[in-house]
């Protein structure tokens, strides 16, 4: 089995990463930075987002495992002192034992600017926000005009990203077995002149939405932890991607347990 480790870069994560390499060598796992079967992220959810984007071109053949060095994360469910246990399970996996793989829907983005196009994937969410003033954007669903949005921005999240930024916006928490994307508003303006839906929308996998920039505006597009300033946006198409992201579940950790641990316990 070929593996790669991506750490957050702080002292604890770097030390754990070194421990992991040492154990992996002893257990006969092979380090491969280009074509790993398993990518181990050591740090927090942000490190997993980083790992996802590092291997974005190999999403269909790579599976992820997260070790957290701070508080329990949504994508990082192994504790730092559990690395030897994780290693034994990875060794059994390498020797033919098949662990459960949890596959989660992700979002396909097609960004069209006057200066070019960009197609990419996101694990948590895509947002469109204004750098100065309010965002003015037309939202179409399945090629039909749905609403004209004015406000701070729009967030389009995946089911596994529904517990992140989307949740702070009052969006709903969606189980990742549901293939959908969620559109949530960021401080929309609603009065007698401007009107938006006001609630989050959940689109199924066979639907798509297009967000058209409706004035010359300096925008900030965010894709998970990445920010891209854009001043010539034409539109962004968002839909559930054909590919999914895979997480190796060497032991069960149900989604609702994660939600409870993160927000209620």
Chain contacts with ligand NAD (rule: CB under 6 A): 44-46, 49, 73-74, 124-125, 160-161, 163-165, 168, 224-225
Q: Are 126 and 107 in contact (CB under 8 A)?
A: yes
Work out the number of other CB atoms within 10 angstroms of the CB of residue 167.
17
Shortest separation between residue 101's beta carbon and ligand NAD, angstroms: 18
Question: Distance between CA 38 and CA 86 in Å, rounded?
Answer: 12
Shortest separation between residue 216's beta carbon and ligand NAD, angstroms: 26
Region class of 116: left (phi > 0), else alpha (psi between -120 and 50), else beta: left
Q: Determine if residue 212 is labeled as part of a ligand binding site.
A: no
Name the residue nearer to ligand NAD (CB basis): 23 or 262: 262
Name the residue nearer to ligand NAD (CB basis): 27 or 225: 225
Q: Which residue is nearest to ligand NAD (CB)?
A: 46
Active-site residue, selected from the candidate residues 7, 37, 45, 77:
45
Q: What is the DSSP string of 52-105?
A: HHHTGGGTTT-EEEEEESSS--SS--EEGGGHHHHHHHHHHHHTT---EEEEEE
Name the residue nearer to ligand NAD (CB basis): 168 or 172: 168
Question: Distance between CA 82 and CA 65 in Å, rounded?
Answer: 13
Q: Determine if residue 24 is labeled as part of a ligand binding site.
A: no
Active site includes 132? no
Nearest by Cα to 14 from 53, 51, 69: 69
Shortest separation between residue 45's beta carbon and ligand NAD, angstroms: 3
Shortest separation between residue 177's beta carbon and ligand NAD, angstroms: 15
Name the residue nearer to ligand NAD (CB basis): 72 or 89: 72
Q: Determine if residue 157 is labeled as part of a ligand binding site.
A: no
Structure tokens at 48: 């997993």
Query: What residues pair up with 79 in beta bridges, in sequence order?
Result: 68
Region class of 225: left (phi > 0), else alpha (psi between -120 and 50), else beta: alpha
Q: Determine if residue 45 is labeled as part of a ligand binding site.
A: yes
The separation between CA 242 and the C-alpha centre of its own chain, rounded to angstroms, equals: 15
Shortest separation between residue 160's beta carbon and ligand NAD, angstroms: 5
Name the residue nearer to ligand NAD (CB basis): 73 or 105: 73
Q: Determine if residue 241 is labeled as part of a ligand binding site.
A: no
Question: Distance between CA 60 and CA 63 in Å, rounded?
Answer: 8
Q: Determine if residue 51 is labeled as part of a ligand binding site.
A: no
What residues are labeled active site? 45
| Residues of each annotated binding site | 45-46, 50, 124-125, 150, 152, 163-168, 187
Binding residues for NAD(+): 45-46, 50, 124-125, 150, 152, 163-168, 187
């Amino acid at each position: 089995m070929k593996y790669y480790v991506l750490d957050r870069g702080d002292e604890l994560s770097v030390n754990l990463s070194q421990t992991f390499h040492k154990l992996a060598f002893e257990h006969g796992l092979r380090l491969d930075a280009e074509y790993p079967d398993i990518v181990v992220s050591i740090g927090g959810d942000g490190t997993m987002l980083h790992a996802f984007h590092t291997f974005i071109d190999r999403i269909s053949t790579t599976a992820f495992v997260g070790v957290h060095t701070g508080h329990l994360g949504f994508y990082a469910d192994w504790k730092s002192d559990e690395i030897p246990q994780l290693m034994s399970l990875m060794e059994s996996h390498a020797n033919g034992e098949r662990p459960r793989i949890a596959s989660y829907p992700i979002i396909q983005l097609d960004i069209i600017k006057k200066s070019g196009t960009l197609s990419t994937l996101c694990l948590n969410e895509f947002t469109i926000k204004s750098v100065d003033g309010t965002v003015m954007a037309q939202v179409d669903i399945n090629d039909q005009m749905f609403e004209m949005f004015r406000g701070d921005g729009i967030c389009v999240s995946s089911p596994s990203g529904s517990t992140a930024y989307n949740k702070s916006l009052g969006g709903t928490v969606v189980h990742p077995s549901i293939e959908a994307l969620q559109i949530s508003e960021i401080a929309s303006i609603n009065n007698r002149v401007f009107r938006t839906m006001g609630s989050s929308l959940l689109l199924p996998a066979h639907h798509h939405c297009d967000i058209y920039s409706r004035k010359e505006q300096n925008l900030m597009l965010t894709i998970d932890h990445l920010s891209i300033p854009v001043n010539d946006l034409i539109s962004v198409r968002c839909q559930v991607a054909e590919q999914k992201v895979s997480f190796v579940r060497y032991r069960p950790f149900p989604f609702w347990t994660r939600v409870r641990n993160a927000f209620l316990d």
